[in-house]
């Protein structure tokens, strides 16, 4: 059985868990935190979570894990077969990761763990998010999913990255990103109705509560 290592506050962990749940893949969650210990690096060479444990070995990096799962468990498919459509889905997922998730991540410390970021960092994050949202708005169709009629990995990145990035943006930068990309709202609401999202959001809430108690 596939084991997913990580923790429920992690966006990336939640993305992989979403794919496992959506595809109904039997799996086990193993609470694991990032580490630079030698034995950990054998499983996840950059010392990060998530990573999965399969009968053939370990895989780290969310996009590699998701693509592996999509090939091994093709239903429902989260990546199109046709090369152009496949490239467009990957293009969008990549843009969300690089230009939304990664800049917003620089302020997660302040949002989640009360570690204030300096004003210069905030300025950079705001500028990056504005450009990132513009790019996504021009690529995505949101009809009704991010890349058209089928749920795809672009939706996985959109939901988990944009939701948290917008929280960062509203609370710390006084800017609602969804105002720049209003059609994303309908797609996010559609995704919110999926049982897998509901289950993951509950687990994240519980994990955050126990994080803040520590």
User: Which residues are at the interface with ligand GSH (CB under 6 A)?
Assistant: 10-12, 34, 47-50, 61-62
CA distances from 85 to 78, 88, 95, 123, 148 (A): 11, 5, 15, 35, 10
92 close to 44: Cβ distance less than 8 angstroms: no
Q: Which is nearer to ligand GSH, 47 or 116 (CB)?
A: 47
Task: Please give the Cα distance from 103 to 116 (Å, whole number).
Answer: 15
Q: Which is nearer to ligand GSH, 59 or 177 (CB)?
A: 59
Minimum CB distance to ligand GSH, residue 35 (Å): 8
Minimum CB distance to ligand GSH, residue 122 (Å): 20
Which helix (H) or strand (E) is 88 found in, with range? helix 83-96
Exposed (0-12), middle (13-18) or buried (19+): which is 120, by Cβ within 10 Å? Answer: exposed
Q: Which is nearer to ligand GSH, 61 or 85 (CB)?
A: 61
Q: Which residues pair with 29 in a beta bridge?
A: 4
Q: How many CB atoms lie within 10 A of CB 160?
A: 26
Minimum CB distance to ligand GSH, residue 11 (Å): 6
Q: Which is nearer to ligand GSH, 10 or 169 (CB)?
A: 10
CA distances from 100 to 107, 135, 140, 179, 190 (A): 12, 10, 14, 15, 20
Q: Which is nearer to ligand GSH, 10 or 204 (CB)?
A: 10
Minimum CB distance to ligand GSH, residue 36 (Å): 7
Minimum CB distance to ligand GSH, residue 200 (Å): 14
């Amino acid at each position: 059985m596939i084991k997913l290592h990580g923790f429920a506050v992690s966006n990336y962990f939640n993305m992989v868990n979403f794919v496992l749940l959506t595809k109904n893949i039997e799996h086990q969650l193993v609470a694991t935190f990032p580490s630079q210990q030698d034995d950990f690096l054998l499983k996840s060479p950059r010392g990060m979570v998530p990573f999965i444990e399969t009968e053939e070995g370990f895989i780290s990096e969310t996009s590699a894990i998701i693509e592996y799962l999509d090939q091994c468990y093709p239903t429902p498919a989260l990546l199109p077969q046709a090369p152009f459509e496949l490239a467009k889905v990957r293009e969008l997922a990549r843009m969300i990761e690089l230009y939304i998730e990664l800049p917003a991540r620089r302020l997660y410390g302040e949002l989640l763990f009360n570690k204030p970021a300096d004003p210069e960092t905030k300025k950079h994050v705001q500028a990056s998010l504005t450009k990132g949202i513009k790019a996504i708005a021009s690529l995505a169709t949101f009809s009704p999913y991010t890349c058209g009629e089928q749920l795809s990995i672009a939706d996985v990145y959109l939901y988990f990255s944009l939701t948290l990035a917008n929280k960062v943006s509203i609370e710390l930068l006084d800017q609602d990103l969804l105002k720049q990309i209003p059609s994303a709202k309908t797609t996010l609401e559609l995704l919110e109705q999926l049982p897998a999202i509901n289950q993951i959001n509950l687990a994240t809430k519980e994990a955050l509560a126990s994080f803040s108690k520590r």
